[in-house]
Chain A
């Protein structure tokens, strides 16, 4: 078996293969490899190993299913909001017509509450009541009744509860 050329250390040839030598040494080795088949083969072998590895890895990775990667990233990057901030954020993310409709609904209900309709008057009076006029517990002890009477309009409200 022919002895391997010892002119340059294998690591130096490896650096030559990567063009990682200073100009002087690079040119020396280049001149040497013109006449030395062994060193040239070593350098070619180093380059081929790198190329083959690169190709094998890329080929393997190309079989991966990366379809959901973009979606997964977007889902994780989306603002992580919670509680009240989330509700506020959700509100502002609503479509314009939904925002307008919700504001209009609040205004209508607010105005209606302050209108002096009989029902509203009773409701306001009822909400101001502190204690019921009477509490009746039924005979069978399974139900009870509370009776309220509004002060001004004298309307009676009966609240019935069955246990």
Chain B
């Protein structure tokens, strides 16, 4: 089914832009509803995944309704880091120590990603997650290719600097 096939990809995009689990689930639900009701607008020669991805990005960027909640997330996470890590440690298998470290590392990355300005973060995640080319990102976000390049580099520089300081 359409939802099962694409929900992972769309959730990755939605979550990396909104940084909120509930919002990203709502957005993806909206995207599928929009896609079903507007399926006539889908061009047969285009990729269905690409079309859904575009709707998701637009929906995320227009998702202003819960802006305050999104802002709060980066300062006051609903789940504390320790809770999340401990929960995963409890579920861990043969090597709890490695899993703990891995989760800790991932959580640190997420923290640093959440600190990126949204415009920079969107470009970064579309490239890193979806492997989108500069031209594709520029077209999706209606910005210049050079802007994509500079934002992407900026994101990488911030993230690498933050990892060095850890």
Nearest residue in A to B3 (C-beta to C-beta)?
A70
A126 to B50 Cα, complex, angstroms: 71
Q: At the interface, is chain B mostly helix, strand, loop or mixed? A: helix
Contact pattern, B 112-149, Cβ under 8 Å of A = 1, otherwise 0: 01000000000011011100011000000000000001
Please pick, from A15, A49, A50, A64, the residue contacting B149 in the complex, using a CB distance under 8 A. Answer: A15
Is the C-beta of B86 less than 8 angstroms from some C-beta in chain A? no
Q: Is the CB of B33 within 8 A of A73?
A: yes
Is the C-beta of A52 less than 8 angstroms from some C-beta in chain B? yes
A57 to B133 Cα, complex, angstroms: 19
Q: Is the CB of A20 within 8 A of B133?
A: yes
User: Of residues A59, A61, A62, which shows the largest number of chain B Cβ atoms within 10 Å of its Cβ?
Assistant: A61
Is the C-beta of A33 less than 8 angstroms from some C-beta in chain B? no
Give chain A nearest CB distance to B12 CB in angstroms.
5
Give chain A nearest CB distance to B36 CB in angstroms.
4
Give chain B nearest CB distance to A125 CB in angstroms.
57
Contact pattern, A 127-154, Cβ under 8 Å of B = 1, otherwise 0: 0000000000000000000000000000
Q: Beyond A61-B15, A70-B4, A73-B29: 20 further Cβ-contacts under 8 Å?
A: A14-B152, A14-B153, A14-B156, A15-B149, A45-B160, A46-B156, A49-B128, A53-B113, A53-B129, A56-B110, A57-B110, A57-B113, A57-B129, A58-B8, A58-B129, A64-B11, A66-B11, A69-B3, A69-B29, A70-B3
